[in-house]
Amino acid sequence: MYMKRTQLYLDEEQRRILDRLARETGKSVGQLIRDAVNEAYGGHKFPEKPLSSCDPLWKFIGAGESAETDISTRHDHYLYKDADEDIC
């Protein structure tokens, strides 16, 4: 599993609690924090947001081929480069 490094600030009491739990459980402070995040937020489901009928993406459906070679990695650039924040 790939993990992304994250820095956070804890007050002294929070760190003291985590250090003690780490000693008692044999887990690292990082693992304790990951466990807490999973317990608190692991079951959270984000609602899917359907595409608006005026989303520029619809222009590209069935458009065919392009001379651009990086569309798969820079698709947002090509779709939204001229769009204002509110695209409708």
Model confidence at 33: pLDDT above 60: yes
| Other Cβ atoms closer than 10 A to 82 | 8
Q: Confirm whether 61 is domain-assigned.
A: yes
- Answer yes or no: pTM beyond 0.85: no
Q: Confirm whether 18 is domain-assigned.
A: yes
> Do 30 and 54 share a structural domain?
no
Range of the domain at 29: 12-41
Q: Tell me the per-residue pLDDT of 43-60, one tens digit each, with 9 for 90 and over.
A: 888 888 887 888 887 887
Q: Tell me the per-residue pLDDT of 37-47, one tens digit each, with 9 for 90 and over.
A: 999 998 888 88
Per the structure, the count of domains in the chain is: 2
